Structure 1
Amino acid sequence: MNTSDPIAGVSVISTGSVAIRPEHVGPTRKNTYLWLATSRRWTAPRPINVYVVEHREGLVLFDTGQDRASVTDPGYFPGGANGLVYSRLARFDIGPDETLAAGLRHLGHAVEDVRTAVVSHLHQDHIGGLPLLGRSEIVVSLPEWESLHRPLPQARGLMPDHIDLPGLRWKRVAPEGLADTSLAPFQDGHDLFGDGSLVLLPTPGHTPGSLSMLVRRPDRPPLLMVGDLTYDDALLAQNKLPGVGDKRQMRTATRMVNELRTRLPGLVVLPAHDPGAAERLAAALDGGPGRRLSA
């Protein structure tokens, strides 16, 4: 890894908030479809985080948030049984000043400044900014992209009409061998710019191709953005799983992330919907060249 710092700052914005079922956060022994059909409670609103990295190669996003059209356009979600499932999974609240564009403006950026957007996975609350990113390279794992084109994507939480948009420049990455032994137990991944500062790690389970992104800087705590591998880092640290996803894969990915903590002292885990993630990021930056923002 290059010892000079290629990163000028790391920030977080939130494109509104989402309430989900407590069983969704987990842990729960209930089958997903059982709790989805029977749960009557919602969590307190949780953020929809987008992480912003100011890299010397250009502005990088990890995830793109939720599209405000999902709360303003009655036709955004599918109808029928799939629409019913979506309505029971989550409730969104997104104001006009809580869009991806607004959040970037508050940080002094424009959507046109985004060189690269890494998408942890293709669920709606991570791809909402895609319509704005026609000038960017959109990075997704190859297994995740392939899952989009399997039968019945809407029933699996994927809405192709909001993902595979005309004019987007997709880069589909497959895990490759990593020479950096400090990243064990991860042996495969993708070094985004070849300098070791931003490394994509496969953490499947929530979806078949879910990615996490490791951010490393000299003299700074390492950061690991994990998408929806967990909704609460305290639960992940205890090896407790969310209530949705492939349990076997999530268990393996969770174990690997927790082992990585022991190899990278001070590792800060940043999920997409953890209410404490922004504060942990701010503490890790400790007054350095990074910013925190709820758009």
Structure 2
Amino acid sequence: MQSIEKVSLVSTGSVAIRPEHVSRSGTPMLWWLTTSRRWTPPRPINVYVIEHANGLALFDTGQNRASVTDPDYFPRGLNGFFYRRLARFEIAPDETLTAQLARIGYDIADVDTAVISHLHQDHIGGLSELTHARIIVGEAELDAARGRSAELDGYLQKHIFLPDLHWEPLRGELDLFGDGSVMLFLTPGHTPGSLSALVQRTGLSPLLLVGDLTYDAALLEKGVIPGVGDKAGLLASTRRVIELAERHPGLVVLAAHDPAAQGLLAKANRAIE
């Protein structure tokens, strides 16, 4: 729709994960997490920037650079062991959210809204820089992040529940700007409250921002689900996305860690002839 002026992508560093993380192998997660010796090549930590006539919005906020500079960022003990086994991050000094937005011409102070696909560490890294903005997240996601097993489930509470954040829990669907250009809806599976965003633009391909519902849009198109999350939920949300693609010809799926996302977005930003 014409009200959307631009959609861009920035990356707050890169992450290497286990191959079993990307594509479910049938092996229990605890087993491959503790025994796997392989890492994927570095994958981007994407943040999507939506410039609308009525405000500037982000989809996810990336990884905090403190995760590679502060030895106390991650938990210690057994939980810390699992975090170290799950991912390896590389984040340069100029790959903070604020610096990356400035690189493409935006001031973080101008961000009105941050939509968080889910509350794992590599999606909430910029929260401390967004105390002035509204923060939209699935209500079930907030509940999970407050649970007794939150840290083991991937929620680092001390980096999520920061002072002065303006949370807006999402229960169902939300028309973000009130004009149908950005529709938010729940796609649980990777986490209980994961959400996605359908972005519709006049004369351009529609976009679907999916967080970690997939790590590879080509795999999602084939119905292949990742190895982290609830299998039934991931399958149901994947089917919903495939059905959505049938209703929106040319739909481009953009994930948080898909190396192809930059090229997919660049292609989608070209006018449909």
Is 1:212 aligned to 2:209, yes or no?
no
Matches within 5 A, 1:1-295: 5-175=2-172, 189-286=173-270
Alpha-carbon separation, structure 1, partners of 2:225 and 2:151: 24
> 1-side partners of 2:262 and 2:187: how far apart?
21
| Correspondence for 1:185 | none
- Deviation string 1:3-43 (CA, Å, 9 cap, x unpaired) is x6111100000000000000000131111111101100000
Could you tell me how far apart the structure 1 residues matched to 2:24 and 2:178 are?
Answer: 37
| Shift, 1:238, TM fit | 0.5
1:291 maps to what in 2? none
Equivalent pair of 2:204/2:271 in contact (CA under 8 Å): no
Query: How far apart in 2 are the matches of 1:199 and 1:149?
Result: 26
One-letter amino acid matched to 2:71 = P
CA–CA distance in 2 between the matches of 1:7 and 1:119? 19
Letter in 2 for 1:38: T
Deviations 1:131-167 (A, max 9, x none): 0001111100111111111112101000110001001
Q: Which runs of 4+ in 1 moved over 2 A?
A: none
Offset, 1:282: 0.1
Higher RCO (C-alpha 8 Å, min separation 6)? 1
The CA distance in 2 between the partners of 1:64 and 1:34, in whole Å, is 30
SS of residue paired to 1:12: strand
The amino acid of 1:154's aligned partner reads E
Instruction: Give distance in 1, aligned partners of 2:93 and 2:11.
Output: 12
* Structure 1 CA distance for aligned equivalents of residues 223 and 70 of structure 2: 38
> Which stretch has the larger CA shift, 157-166 or 143-152?
143-152
Give the whole-Å Cα distance in 2 for the aligned partners of 1:140 and 1:71. 25
Name the TM-score, length of structure 1 as normaliser.
0.91
Deviations 1:107-142, CA, capped at 9 Å, x for gaps: 111110100000000000000000000111110011
Supply the RMSD in Å over aligned alpha carbons. Answer: 1.0
Residue segments in structure 1 that go unaligned for 5+ positions in a row:
176-188, 289-295
Query: Counterpart of 2:92 in structure 1: which amino acid?
Result: G
Q: Could you tell me how far apart the structure 2 residues matched to 1:31 and 1:144 are?
A: 23
Percent identical: 57
Write the distance in 1 (CA, Å) between the matches of 2:131 and 2:54.
18
1:179-222 Cα offsets, whole Å, 9 max, x none, are xxxxxxxxxx2111211001012110000000001100111110
State the alpha-carbon separation in 2 of the partners of residues 247 and 42 from structure 1. 22
Q: CA deviation at 1:287?
A: 7.0
**Alignment match, 1:180:** none
Matched residue count: 272
CA distance in 2, matches of 1:145, 1:192: 19
How far apart, CA to CA, are the structure 1 residues paired with 2:138 and 2:179? Answer: 20
